[in-house]
Amino acid sequence: MSVSNGTQSRVAIYLRVSTEDQVEKYGLDMQRDAIDALIKSKGRFEDNTERMVFAGDKYVYIDDGISGTTVISERPQFARLMEDILNAPEGKRPFDAVAVYKIDRFARKLSVLVDLIEFFENQGIQMLSANESIDTSTAFGRAVLGIIGVIAELEIETFKQRSADGRKAAIRKGVFMGEVPPYGYIKTPEKTLRILEEEAIVVREIFDMFLKQFMSPQQIADDLTKRKILSPSSSAIQYRKKSGSSRKKNADTFWSPLVIRKILFNEIYIGTYYYGKTKKGKRLPKSEWKKSDYRYPSIIEKADFSLVQQRLKKSKSRSVTAQRKQEDKHIYLLSGLLRCEACLDQQRSREMPHWVGEPRKMIVSGESVTARYYKCGRRNTKKYSGNYCNVITLPGDQIEQIIFDQVKELLKNPDAVINYQNKLKSRTQELKQLKTKRDFYEKLINAAPDKIERLKEQHQAGIISSLDELKQKIAEQEGAEKINQDKLFELETQIGKIVLSDNYVQTFKHFQDKYIKAMTNIEENRHLLKEVLDVLLDKVVVKSRPVTPEDTISGRKKEGQYIPYKLDLHFRLPKDMLHEAFFKFGVKDANL
């Protein structure tokens, strides 16, 4: 590969800069100046001709904004450099050497560098580096090049690890890594989050409208748009959470249901922050996200947030069910509420299976009519083989009417609500004290990383003499943090019980004020009644027993059949409200 005495080497130039290089001032001009100096430093032959000369502007290759770990095929200019070599006529190479500022301009990954060395060697092209003074025309130069490649790869991996560790430590101390704070928050000078009350008021209202007024995301979005509330992106500009002007095509006060759903799903509003949501540009499933131990100030109580998630999940489930049953537009009021206790006992299920509604075509007085029934989801001989449910079906209209009448009577009775509201008033002070204690323990937990850092600094300063003593003190601090976490969980549980009770009372009262007049007939508004039942009822357990010869049932009796005899209605309301309203309804005849 060496050039014979008196023959000039024509040198091509390869320049590469990434975003990090710009920060480190490895700019194009600086790289080019160093390479020009390298070429001149090679001196002259005895006849005063230069040993090396620049091959010409045509042979300057610049990959701007390309990482050193990027494979060669994905670097446009380096790919052009290789094409110029490979496409040249035999014996007429366009240049004899390629010069770079540093070897890591060629590659910062050893596997990539090895491929380059092999390519240039096969083509008879030298590799020159201005920074490391490397010349691959010698065996020693090639060996040094390999060593430098290993060091470069180790350096970049170490940098990545340090960056990841530093990012993790910053997040643990409450640094918010996102560019724009979530709606309802603003960044502090320390880059953590504090509540922006002007936006937080709207966040609380969104959750209240969804949870207590049963408004859909579309209805909430329409309401906020009508009232000309600034959208999150517009508000972020107003409060200088981000610079520039709005690029929205819609008005600054336009809200979309998608934005509402994102707010309702975002756990930042209960103080929980996730990071590491993407990998190599692809979004990861939530199970792979990383959760910060730092607790941000919460805008929504966990109990309310949990109820919202349940409703969102149910809403999604109902939409899927609706798509699967396009042929049957009928709304089954007890869908998702009826549960089969027999399957829990007899089939050893992990949980009580749901009962589902189904239509049946029947001939009555010579005419075809549709009757509607409820049956256990495990009552499917093909799907569950010998482990299917033997409880006979329930007539849909009669069962719905029974539960509808009971719920309607409950809504008509204001005494339970009034009495419970009076009781909650007496617990206002208790709730305030619990929240104060919660804030105290949250601050203790958030301060834990700084305490551990100070212990390490004391060890370095010699205040803590031995490594064993340092480990012991760190272990004591971690033990105290665990105790604080347990106390915080206990406080949140107590707060949740009070908040849930108040939330259900407000929802219950909302139904009383707004819907009771509309609930005069079960067929008037089945959509509305379905929403009411889903809010007030947790489940309706179908209890059954073996069929006896004395029972009257429709159709032919079969061995092993069970007959429903009781419905247990489990309300979501506090038990104190249900002192007179909580009941059980017995079913004595399967021909209800």
Question: DSSP secondary structure string, 335-393?
Answer: TTTEEEHHHHHHS--SSPPBEEEEEEEEEETTEEEEEEEEEETT--HHHHGGG---BPP
Convert the pLDDT of each residue in 134-178 to its tens digit. 766 666 666 666 666 666 666 666 666 666 666 777 888 888 888
- Residue numbers of the domain that contains 54: 9-169
* pLDDT 10s digits, 46-89: 778 888 899 999 999 998 877 766 666 678 888 889 999 988 88
Residue 3 is assigned to a structural domain of this protein = no
Chain centre to alpha carbon of residue 432: 31
Nearest to 357 by CA among 318, 381, 331: 331
pLDDT of residue 587: 37
Is pLDDT at 108 greater than 90 in this prediction? no
Cβ within 8 Å of residue 287, ≥6 positions away: none
pLDDT of 581 strictly over 60:
no
Please say whether the beta carbons of 61 and 13 come within 8 A. Answer: yes
Same domain, 192 and 141: no
Residue in 512, 324, 549 with CA at minimum distance from that of residue 416: 512
Contact, 547 vs 584, CB < 8 A?
no
Q: Residue 179: inside a domain, yes or no?
A: no
Residues 400 and 446 in one domain: no
pTM, rounded to two decimals: 0.54
The size of the chain, in residues, is 592
Determine the average pLDDT of the residues in 194-217.
90
Tell me which residue of 42, 165, 155, 40 sits closest to 103, measured CA to CA. Answer: 155
Q: Name 278's bridge partners.
A: 283
Q: What is the mean pLDDT of the chain?
A: 78
- Residue 1 inside a domain? The answer is no
569 forms beta bridges with: 540
Structure tokens at 213: 């007024």
Looking at the structure, tell me whether residues 382 and 529 fall in a common domain. yes
Interhelix angle 467-515/396-412, nearest 10 degrees: 90
Candidates 410, 385, 373; CA nearest to 564 is: 373
CA distance 273 to 193: 11
Nearest CA among 200, 204, 197, 271 for reference residue 442: 271
3-state secondary structure 232-295: HHHHHHHCCCCCCCCCCCCCCCCCCHHHHHHHHHCHHHHCCCEECCEECCEECCHHHCEECCCC
Amino acid at 554: S
Structural domain count of the chain: 4
Burial class of residue 320 (count of CB atoms within 10 Å of its CB; 0-12, 13-18, 19+): exposed
Please give the Cα distance from 572 to 77 (Å, whole number). 66
The answer, yes or no, to whether residue 254 has pLDDT greater than 80, is yes
Instruction: Indicate the burial class of 461 (C-beta count within 10 angstroms; 0-12, 13-18, 19 or more).
Output: exposed
Give the CATH number of the domain where residue 51 resides: 3.40.50.1390
| More confident: 144 or 435 | 435
Q: Is residue 94 part of a domain?
A: yes
Per DSSP, 464 falls in state S
Which range among 139-148, 194-203, 414-423 has the greatest average pLDDT? 194-203
When mean pLDDT is compared across 42-56, 210-224, 237-251, the lowest value belongs to 237-251
% of the chain surpassing 70 pLDDT:
73
Based on the fold, state whether residues 423 and 412 are members of the same structural domain.
Answer: no
d(CA 155, CA 138): 26
Residue 11 has pLDDT above 90, yes or no: yes
Measured in degrees and rounded to the nearest 5, phi and psi for residue 197 equal -60, -35
Instruction: Report H helices in 385-525.
Output: 396-412, 415-425, 428-460, 467-515
2 in any annotated domain = no
Q: Strands (DSSP E) along 116-231, which ranges?
A: 126-129, 134-135, 185-187, 193-195
Clarify whether residues 386 and 407 are in a common domain. Answer: yes
Query: Are residues 463 and 557 part of one domain?
Result: no
Q: Report the DSSP beta bridge partners of residue 100.
A: 129
Q: How confident is the model at residue 44, as a pLDDT?
A: 83
In a domain, 271, yes or no: yes
Alpha helices in 73-109 (DSSP H): 76-86, 103-106
Are residues 447 and 387 part of one domain? no
Q: Cα–Cα distance between 306 and 311 in angstroms, integer?
A: 9
Residue 412 within a domain: yes
Residues 6+ apart with CB under 8 A from 124: 1, 93, 96
- Which of 260, 291, 306 is the last residue in one of the domains? 306
Q: Are residues 543 and 455 in the same domain?
A: no
pLDDT of 226 higher than 90: yes
Distance of CA 81 to the CA centre of its chain: 44
Residue 491: closest CA among 348, 352, 295: 295
Q: Are 290 and 274 in contact (CB under 8 A)?
A: yes
pLDDT in tens, 255-303: 999 999 999 999 999 999 888 888 777 888 888 888 888 889 999 988 8
Q: Looking at residue 384, what is its pLDDT?
A: 66
pLDDT grade for 133, boundaries at 50, 70 and 90: low
Give, in degrees to the nearest 5, the angle at Cα 445 between 441 and 446: 115
Neighbour count for residue 256 (Cβ, 10 Å): 14
Least confident range from 112-116, 323-327, 414-418: namely 323-327
407 and 553 assigned to the same domain: yes
Question: Is 324 a member of any domain?
Answer: no
What the block records as the tokens of 217 is: 């995301």
Q: How far is CA 94 from the centre of its chain?
A: 54
pLDDT of res. 227: 93
Do 264 and 195 lie in a common domain?
yes
User: Percentage of the chain surpassing pLDDT 90?
Assistant: 14
24 with 150, same domain? yes
Tell me which of 108-112, 294-298, 352-356, 391-395 is least confident. Answer: 108-112
520-545 pLDDT, tens digit per residue, is 666 667 777 787 787 778 888 888 88
Residue of 362 and 125 predicted with greater confidence: 125
| Domain identity same for 109 and 211 | no
Q: Contact at 8 Å (CB) between 58 and 77?
A: no
Which pLDDT score is estimated for 223?
Answer: 93
